[in-house]
């Protein structure tokens, strides 16, 4: 459903994403895991069609995002890491606008909006301007916005940021049911528990490259890590904790 081939993104001399190859099939929840600045968000934004790759291709549902952007985007819902929405639109108006961008309107969309707002407990805020929403409420609104047009693929950047435990659990269940029904989710996160609990397969991204990928057991095999936890495995692949640096900071 999602295929990245030789994906590269350079900003001047800095290479943020350095030749990523990846395939996420239908019905899978795939996690991109990596430290800050590893290139996860850049990769996600290239898949969503917001950034143009320096080299390589992105395909969604068999359509090339650069050459057939409209066809590819029709199948996709994108959830960014920062929930910027139009302050002067109400929650209901925002979702109606998001659906319209995908060419959808009418009573079916209205019903869908009500369902989503109900699911995320935003119904009582439907007619209020989003400038009065909390960070978590905005996050739930943009998640609803990504689902309102019934996409086949969801691309999501740090989905749990700003969500309360109940909403986080709801989102996990939602994504799980979405893939069980044949959908595809590609999410980035740096929260190890989230990746371990939710994802069918994980790729550990480090310095713009995929350091390892597979199921948890495949990752352990690849890195000869025995029964190490994901945290230990992650630290092993991404350069450890640097205890001597902690000492230096705390003793200053």
Partner 1 sequence: MPAGERTQPALWTILTPKWRGALARLRQERSGSRARLLLVTITGLAFWSAIFGVAYRVLSYIQRVPDIGELLAGKVLAGVLLAFLTILLLSNIITALSTFFLARDLDLLVAAPVGGTRLYLAKLAETAVHSSWMVALLALPILTAYGMVFAGGPLFPLVAIAALVPYLILPAVVGTVITVLLVNVFPARRTRELLTLLGLGALAAVVLFLRFMRPEQLARPEGFQNFVDYLVALRTPTSPLFPSEWAAEMLMNWLLQVSDPMPVVRLWGAAAVALAVGVLVHRRLFRLGYSKAQEGAERKLRRRVRGPLDDLLRLLPPAKREFLLKDMRLFFRDNSQWSQLILLTVLLIIYIFNIRSLPIHSGERIPFSLVTIISFLNLGLAGFVLAAVAARFIFPGVSLEGRQMWLLRSSPLDPRAMLWSKYWIGTIPLLVLALAITVLTNWLLQVSEFMMAVSVATILLYTLAVSALALTFGVFYPQFGTENAAQIPTSFGGVVYMMASLCLLAVVIMIEAVPVTAYLRSWQRGEPAILTPELFAAGAAVVIILGAATIVPLRLGVRRIEQMEF
C-beta of 138: minimal distance to partner 1 in Å? 11
Minimum distance from residue 243 beta carbon to partner 1 (Å): 25
Nearer residue to partner 1 within complex by CB, 5 or 104 = 104
Min. distance of Cβ 20 from partner 1 in angstroms?
18
Handedness of CA 215, 221, 223, 225 (dihedral sign): positive
CB-wise, 2 or 76, nearer to partner 1? 76
Please give the Cα distance from 219 to 183 (Å, whole number).
24
φ, ψ of residue 224 in degrees (nearest 5): 50, 50
The whole-angstrom separation of Cα 118 and Cα 11 is: 42
| Residues binding partner 1 (CB under 8 A) | 45, 48-52, 69-71, 73-74, 76, 78, 80, 82, 84-86, 88-90, 93, 96-105, 127-129, 131-132, 142, 145
Considering the complex, state which of residue 132 and residue 197 has its C-beta at the smaller distance from partner 1.
132
As beta bridge partners, residue 24 has 2
Report the alpha-carbon angle 190-191-194, nearest 5.
125
| Smallest distance, partner 1 to C-beta of residue 102, A | 6
Please say which residue, 14 or 243, places its beta carbon nearer to partner 1.
14
Residue found by looking up tokens 């740096």 in the block: 190
Looking at the Cβ atoms of 98 and 211, the one nearer to partner 1 is: 98
Minimal distance, residue 212 CB to partner 1, in Å: 28
DSSP-based three-state secondary structure for 164: coil
How deeply is 140 buried, as exposed, middle or buried, from its count of CB atoms within 10 A (0-12, 13-18, 19+)?
buried
């Amino acid at each position: 459903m999602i295929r990245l081939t030789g994906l590269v993104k350079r900003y001047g001399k800095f290479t943020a994403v350095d030749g990523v190859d990846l395939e996420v099939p239908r019905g899978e929840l795939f996690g991109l895991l990596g430290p800050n600045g590893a290139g996860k968000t850049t990769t996600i934004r290239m898949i969503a069609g917001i950034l143009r790759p320096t080299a390589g291709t992105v395909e969604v549902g068999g359509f090339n995002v650069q050459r057939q952007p409209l066809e590819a985007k029709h199948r996709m819902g994108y959830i960014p890491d920062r929930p910027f929405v139009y302050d002067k639109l109400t929650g209901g108006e925002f979702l109606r606008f998001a659906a319209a961008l995908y060419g959808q309107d009418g009573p079916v969309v209205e019903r869908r909006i009500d369902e989503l707002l109900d699911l995320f407990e935003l119904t009582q805020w439907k007619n209020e301007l989003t400038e009065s929403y909390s960070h978590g409420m905005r996050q739930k609104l943009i998640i609803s916005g990504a689902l309102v047009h019934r996409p086949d693929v969801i691309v999501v950047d740090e989905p749990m940021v700003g969500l309360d435990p109940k909403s986080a659990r709801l989102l996990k269940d939602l994504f799980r049911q979405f893939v069980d029904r044949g959908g595809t989710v590609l999410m980035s996160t740096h929260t190890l528990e989230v990746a371990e609990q939710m994802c069918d397969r994980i790729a550990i991204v480090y310095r713009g490259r995929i350091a390892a990928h597979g199921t948890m057991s495949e990752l352990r095999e690849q890195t000869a890590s025995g029964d190490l936890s994901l945290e230990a495995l992650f630290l092993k692949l991404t350069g450890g904790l640097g205890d001597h640096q902690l000492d230096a900071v705390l003793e200053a």
